[in-house]
Structure 1
Amino acid sequence: MLTEALEGLAAAGGSAVVGAAATDAWNTARAGVARLLGRGDHDQEQYAIERLDRTATEIARAADGGRQQLRDKLQNRWTGQLEILLEEHPEAAHELRELIERVEAELPSAQQSWVQNNTAQAGAIQYITQGGDINVGRGATDG
Protein backbone atom coordinates (compact mmCIF):
# COMPACT_ATOMS: atom_id res chain seq x y z
CA MET A 1 0.00 0.00 0.00
CA LEU A 2 1.31 3.42 -0.96
CA THR A 3 1.72 6.31 1.43
CA GLU A 4 -0.34 9.42 0.78
CA ALA A 5 2.80 11.18 -0.39
CA LEU A 6 3.47 8.51 -3.03
CA GLU A 7 -0.19 8.49 -4.08
CA GLY A 8 0.07 12.25 -4.55
CA LEU A 9 3.26 11.85 -6.52
CA ALA A 10 1.60 9.30 -8.82
CA ALA A 11 -1.37 11.67 -9.28
CA ALA A 12 0.99 14.52 -10.15
CA GLY A 13 2.70 12.21 -12.64
CA GLY A 14 -0.62 11.27 -14.25
CA SER A 15 -1.50 14.94 -14.49
CA ALA A 16 1.89 15.75 -16.04
CA VAL A 17 1.53 13.03 -18.69
CA VAL A 18 -1.90 14.19 -19.81
CA GLY A 19 -1.04 17.87 -19.46
CA ALA A 20 2.01 17.46 -21.65
CA ALA A 21 0.15 15.87 -24.57
CA ALA A 22 0.09 18.21 -27.59
CA THR A 23 2.64 20.59 -26.02
CA ASP A 24 6.37 21.09 -26.33
CA ALA A 25 6.73 19.13 -23.09
CA TRP A 26 5.42 15.92 -24.68
CA ASN A 27 8.80 14.51 -25.73
CA THR A 28 10.17 14.97 -22.22
CA ALA A 29 7.10 13.34 -20.64
CA ARG A 30 6.95 10.50 -23.19
CA ALA A 31 10.62 9.56 -22.92
CA GLY A 32 10.76 9.93 -19.15
CA VAL A 33 7.63 7.91 -18.37
CA ALA A 34 8.62 5.19 -20.84
CA ARG A 35 12.05 4.94 -19.22
CA LEU A 36 10.52 4.78 -15.74
CA LEU A 37 7.97 2.13 -16.66
CA GLY A 38 10.50 0.13 -18.68
CA ARG A 39 12.94 -0.11 -15.75
CA GLY A 40 15.76 -1.08 -18.10
CA ASP A 41 13.69 -3.52 -20.20
CA HIS A 42 13.69 -2.31 -23.81
CA ASP A 43 10.50 -4.20 -24.72
CA GLN A 44 8.61 -2.76 -21.73
CA GLU A 45 9.85 0.71 -22.62
CA GLN A 46 8.62 0.30 -26.22
CA TYR A 47 5.25 -0.92 -24.94
CA ALA A 48 5.00 2.16 -22.70
CA ILE A 49 5.85 4.41 -25.67
CA GLU A 50 3.05 2.83 -27.70
CA ARG A 51 0.58 3.43 -24.86
CA LEU A 52 1.79 7.00 -24.40
CA ASP A 53 1.43 7.66 -28.13
CA ARG A 54 -2.16 6.31 -28.02
CA THR A 55 -2.87 8.70 -25.15
CA ALA A 56 -1.60 11.69 -27.13
CA THR A 57 -3.55 10.60 -30.22
CA GLU A 58 -6.77 10.12 -28.25
CA ILE A 59 -6.47 13.60 -26.74
CA ALA A 60 -5.70 15.19 -30.11
CA ARG A 61 -8.72 13.50 -31.75
CA ALA A 62 -11.21 14.15 -28.95
CA ALA A 63 -14.09 16.48 -29.69
CA ASP A 64 -14.03 19.68 -27.67
CA GLY A 65 -17.15 18.70 -25.72
CA GLY A 66 -15.68 15.42 -24.46
CA ARG A 67 -12.02 16.35 -24.26
CA GLN A 68 -11.95 17.15 -20.53
CA GLN A 69 -13.76 13.92 -19.64
CA LEU A 70 -11.26 11.97 -21.75
CA ARG A 71 -8.33 13.82 -20.17
CA ASP A 72 -9.66 12.95 -16.70
CA LYS A 73 -10.02 9.28 -17.68
CA LEU A 74 -6.51 9.14 -19.12
CA GLN A 75 -5.06 10.99 -16.14
CA ASN A 76 -6.61 8.39 -13.82
CA ARG A 77 -5.21 5.61 -15.99
CA TRP A 78 -1.67 7.01 -15.91
CA THR A 79 -1.95 7.73 -12.20
CA GLY A 80 -2.81 4.07 -11.70
CA GLN A 81 0.17 2.94 -13.76
CA LEU A 82 2.49 5.18 -11.78
CA GLU A 83 1.02 3.92 -8.50
CA ILE A 84 1.82 0.37 -9.59
CA LEU A 85 5.35 1.47 -10.49
CA LEU A 86 5.84 3.07 -7.07
CA GLU A 87 4.43 0.04 -5.26
CA GLU A 88 6.84 -2.27 -7.07
CA HIS A 89 9.78 0.17 -7.19
CA PRO A 90 9.52 2.77 -4.41
CA GLU A 91 13.06 3.86 -5.27
CA ALA A 92 11.63 5.32 -8.51
CA ALA A 93 9.93 8.12 -6.56
CA HIS A 94 12.93 10.44 -6.87
CA GLU A 95 13.13 9.89 -10.64
CA LEU A 96 9.39 10.49 -11.04
CA ARG A 97 9.55 13.67 -8.96
CA GLU A 98 12.41 15.01 -11.12
CA LEU A 99 10.54 14.11 -14.32
CA ILE A 100 7.40 15.91 -13.14
CA GLU A 101 9.47 19.01 -12.37
CA ARG A 102 11.06 18.94 -15.85
CA VAL A 103 7.71 18.45 -17.59
CA GLU A 104 5.95 21.16 -15.59
CA ALA A 105 8.78 23.59 -16.33
CA GLU A 106 8.23 23.01 -20.07
CA LEU A 107 4.42 23.36 -19.97
CA PRO A 108 2.81 26.62 -21.01
CA SER A 109 1.73 28.35 -17.79
CA ALA A 110 -1.98 27.94 -18.63
CA GLN A 111 -1.55 24.15 -18.73
CA GLN A 112 0.46 23.62 -15.60
CA SER A 113 -1.40 21.70 -12.94
CA TRP A 114 -0.70 20.80 -9.37
CA VAL A 115 -1.96 18.14 -7.01
CA GLN A 116 -2.64 18.96 -3.38
CA ASN A 117 -3.68 16.32 -0.87
CA ASN A 118 -5.44 17.37 2.33
CA THR A 119 -6.28 14.89 5.06
CA ALA A 120 -8.47 15.56 8.07
CA GLN A 121 -8.60 12.84 10.71
CA ALA A 122 -10.39 12.19 13.98
CA GLY A 123 -13.22 14.59 13.24
CA ALA A 124 -10.91 17.46 12.29
CA ILE A 125 -12.14 20.14 9.89
CA GLN A 126 -10.04 21.81 7.22
CA TYR A 127 -10.82 25.09 5.49
CA ILE A 128 -9.06 25.17 2.14
CA THR A 129 -9.35 27.77 -0.61
CA GLN A 130 -8.37 26.69 -4.09
CA GLY A 131 -9.05 27.77 -7.64
CA GLY A 132 -9.38 25.99 -10.94
CA ASP A 133 -10.63 22.44 -11.43
CA ILE A 134 -10.93 20.50 -8.21
CA ASN A 135 -11.25 16.71 -8.40
CA VAL A 136 -12.28 15.05 -5.17
CA GLY A 137 -11.93 11.33 -4.54
CA ARG A 138 -10.27 8.66 -6.59
CA GLY A 139 -11.07 7.66 -10.12
CA ALA A 140 -10.63 4.35 -11.87
CA THR A 141 -7.03 3.25 -12.13
CA ASP A 142 -7.34 0.65 -14.86
CA GLY A 143 -4.37 0.32 -17.14
Structure 2
Amino acid sequence: MGDALDIMQVASVGAAALVTEMVKNTWESVRDSVARFFQRGGEESAEQELQLIDTARQRLVGTAEGERASVEEQLRGQLMIQLGAFLQKHPDAAQELQNLADQVQEADEGSGARTSVHGNTNSQVVIAGGAINASGGFHYRTPEGGR
Protein backbone atom coordinates (compact mmCIF):
# COMPACT_ATOMS: atom_id res chain seq x y z
CA MET A 1 0.00 0.00 0.00
CA GLY A 2 2.88 2.36 0.76
CA ASP A 3 4.26 1.91 -2.75
CA ALA A 4 0.90 2.83 -4.29
CA LEU A 5 0.85 6.04 -2.27
CA ASP A 6 4.36 6.89 -3.44
CA ILE A 7 3.39 6.19 -7.05
CA MET A 8 0.34 8.43 -6.81
CA GLN A 9 2.37 11.16 -5.16
CA VAL A 10 4.88 11.04 -8.01
CA ALA A 11 2.01 10.96 -10.51
CA SER A 12 0.49 14.03 -8.87
CA VAL A 13 3.78 15.96 -8.96
CA GLY A 14 4.34 14.88 -12.56
CA ALA A 15 0.84 15.92 -13.61
CA ALA A 16 1.24 19.35 -12.02
CA ALA A 17 4.58 19.84 -13.79
CA LEU A 18 3.14 18.82 -17.17
CA VAL A 19 0.14 21.12 -16.89
CA THR A 20 2.42 23.99 -15.91
CA GLU A 21 4.68 23.39 -18.90
CA MET A 22 1.92 22.90 -21.46
CA VAL A 23 1.39 26.63 -21.93
CA LYS A 24 5.08 27.54 -22.13
CA ASN A 25 7.27 27.87 -25.18
CA THR A 26 9.52 25.11 -23.75
CA TRP A 27 6.75 22.52 -24.15
CA GLU A 28 8.35 20.69 -27.09
CA SER A 29 11.46 19.76 -25.09
CA VAL A 30 9.31 18.64 -22.16
CA ARG A 31 7.11 16.68 -24.55
CA ASP A 32 10.21 14.89 -25.89
CA SER A 33 11.10 13.86 -22.33
CA VAL A 34 7.54 12.67 -21.73
CA ALA A 35 7.70 10.62 -24.95
CA ARG A 36 10.91 8.93 -23.74
CA PHE A 37 9.25 8.26 -20.39
CA PHE A 38 6.28 6.54 -22.05
CA GLN A 39 8.62 4.41 -24.21
CA ARG A 40 8.96 2.14 -21.19
CA GLY A 41 5.51 0.80 -22.10
CA GLY A 42 6.46 0.03 -25.69
CA GLU A 43 5.96 1.94 -28.93
CA GLU A 44 2.21 1.47 -29.30
CA SER A 45 1.51 2.31 -25.67
CA ALA A 46 3.77 5.37 -25.89
CA GLU A 47 1.85 6.69 -28.88
CA GLN A 48 -1.49 6.24 -27.09
CA GLU A 49 -0.27 7.87 -23.89
CA LEU A 50 1.29 10.77 -25.78
CA GLN A 51 -1.92 11.30 -27.75
CA LEU A 52 -3.77 11.79 -24.46
CA ILE A 53 -1.13 14.31 -23.36
CA ASP A 54 -1.36 16.18 -26.68
CA THR A 55 -5.15 16.30 -26.47
CA ALA A 56 -4.93 17.69 -22.93
CA ARG A 57 -2.51 20.38 -24.07
CA GLN A 58 -4.70 21.37 -27.01
CA ARG A 59 -7.62 21.72 -24.64
CA LEU A 60 -5.60 23.89 -22.26
CA VAL A 61 -4.11 26.25 -24.83
CA GLY A 62 -7.50 26.61 -26.50
CA THR A 63 -9.17 27.67 -23.26
CA ALA A 64 -10.08 31.30 -22.59
CA GLU A 65 -7.91 32.96 -19.95
CA GLY A 66 -10.83 33.31 -17.53
CA GLU A 67 -11.50 29.57 -17.60
CA ARG A 68 -7.90 28.41 -17.61
CA ALA A 69 -7.54 27.78 -13.86
CA SER A 70 -10.54 25.46 -13.86
CA VAL A 71 -9.27 23.54 -16.89
CA GLU A 72 -5.77 23.29 -15.37
CA GLU A 73 -7.27 21.73 -12.24
CA GLN A 74 -9.27 19.21 -14.29
CA LEU A 75 -6.23 18.31 -16.37
CA ARG A 76 -4.02 17.84 -13.31
CA GLY A 77 -6.55 15.30 -12.03
CA GLN A 78 -6.83 13.51 -15.37
CA LEU A 79 -3.08 13.39 -15.89
CA MET A 80 -2.50 12.20 -12.34
CA ILE A 81 -4.79 9.24 -13.06
CA GLN A 82 -3.07 8.58 -16.41
CA LEU A 83 0.42 8.79 -14.94
CA GLY A 84 -0.58 6.78 -11.87
CA ALA A 85 -1.97 3.97 -14.03
CA PHE A 86 1.18 3.98 -16.13
CA LEU A 87 3.39 3.87 -13.03
CA GLN A 88 1.39 0.98 -11.60
CA LYS A 89 2.28 -0.99 -14.74
CA HIS A 90 5.86 0.32 -14.78
CA PRO A 91 6.83 1.19 -11.18
CA ASP A 92 10.48 1.36 -12.19
CA ALA A 93 9.62 4.53 -14.16
CA ALA A 94 8.63 6.47 -11.01
CA GLN A 95 12.12 7.88 -10.50
CA GLU A 96 12.30 9.01 -14.12
CA LEU A 97 9.00 10.89 -13.77
CA GLN A 98 10.17 12.43 -10.49
CA ASN A 99 13.39 13.55 -12.19
CA LEU A 100 11.40 15.12 -15.03
CA ALA A 101 9.18 16.98 -12.56
CA ASP A 102 12.26 18.16 -10.63
CA GLN A 103 13.89 19.44 -13.82
CA VAL A 104 10.75 21.38 -14.73
CA GLN A 105 10.58 22.89 -11.25
CA GLU A 106 14.27 23.84 -11.29
CA ALA A 107 13.84 25.50 -14.68
CA ASP A 108 10.87 27.46 -13.34
CA GLU A 109 12.83 28.61 -10.31
CA GLY A 110 15.65 29.78 -12.55
CA SER A 111 13.31 31.76 -14.77
CA GLY A 112 12.25 34.29 -12.18
CA ALA A 113 12.18 38.00 -12.70
CA ARG A 114 15.41 39.64 -13.74
CA THR A 115 16.13 43.23 -12.82
CA SER A 116 18.81 45.65 -13.91
CA VAL A 117 19.39 48.80 -11.94
CA HIS A 118 21.27 51.69 -13.53
CA GLY A 119 22.08 55.21 -12.42
CA ASN A 120 21.21 54.58 -8.82
CA THR A 121 23.76 56.88 -7.22
CA ASN A 122 22.99 57.90 -3.66
CA SER A 123 20.30 55.24 -3.35
CA GLN A 124 19.87 51.72 -2.14
CA VAL A 125 18.20 48.95 -4.07
CA VAL A 126 16.87 45.78 -2.48
CA ILE A 127 15.37 43.17 -4.76
CA ALA A 128 14.15 39.85 -3.40
CA GLY A 129 12.48 36.89 -4.99
CA GLY A 130 11.74 35.42 -1.60
CA ALA A 131 12.35 36.05 2.07
CA ILE A 132 15.16 38.33 3.20
CA ASN A 133 16.80 37.52 6.51
CA ALA A 134 19.40 39.66 8.22
CA SER A 135 20.60 38.94 11.72
CA GLY A 136 21.63 42.56 12.34
CA GLY A 137 18.69 44.11 10.52
CA PHE A 138 18.68 46.58 7.67
CA HIS A 139 19.52 50.23 8.27
CA TYR A 140 18.72 52.84 5.69
CA ARG A 141 19.90 56.41 5.86
CA THR A 142 19.30 59.27 3.51
CA PRO A 143 22.37 60.13 1.47
CA GLU A 144 24.63 62.86 2.84
CA GLY A 145 23.11 66.22 1.99
CA GLY A 146 19.81 64.52 1.08
CA ARG A 147 16.37 65.43 2.34
What residue in structure 2 maps to residue 78 of structure 1? 79
**TM-score computed with the length of structure 2 as normaliser:** 0.65
Tell me if the contact between 1:25 and 1:103 (Cα under 8 Å) persists in the aligned partners: no
* Identical counterparts, % of pairs: 26
Tell me if the contact between 1:15 and 1:75 (Cα under 8 Å) persists in the aligned partners: yes
Task: Give the superposition deviation at 1:15.
Answer: 0.2
Task: Give the superposition deviation at 1:109.
Answer: 4.5
Which structure has more RCO (C-alpha within 8 Å, separation ≥ 6)? 1
| Pairing 1:61-140 to 2, within 5 Å after superposition | 61-107=62-108, 108-109=111-112
Where 1:93 maps in the other structure, the secondary structure is: helix
Tell me if the contact between 2:38 and 2:50 (Cα under 8 Å) persists in the aligned partners: no
What residue in structure 2 maps to residue 128 of structure 1? none
Where 2:76 maps in the other structure, the secondary structure is: helix
Where 1:82 maps in the other structure, the secondary structure is: helix
**Larger gyration radius, structure 1 or structure 2:** 2
Where 1:3 maps in the other structure, the secondary structure is: helix
What residue in structure 2 maps to residue 43 of structure 1? 44
What residue in structure 2 maps to residue 56 of structure 1? 57
Q: Figure out how many residues of one structure are paired with residues of the other and give that number.
A: 110
Q: Distance in 1 between matches of 2:73 and 2:86?
A: 20
RMSD over equivalenced CA pairs, Å:
2.1
Unmatched runs of 5 consecutive residues or more in structure 1: 111-143
Closer/same/farther in 2, CA of residues 87 and 40 from structure 1, 3 Å limit: closer
Where 2:23 maps in the other structure, the secondary structure is: coil
Tell me if the contact between 2:21 and 2:30 (Cα under 8 Å) persists in the aligned partners: yes
Unmatched runs of 5 consecutive residues or more in structure 2: 114-147
**TM-score computed with the length of structure 1 as normaliser:** 0.66
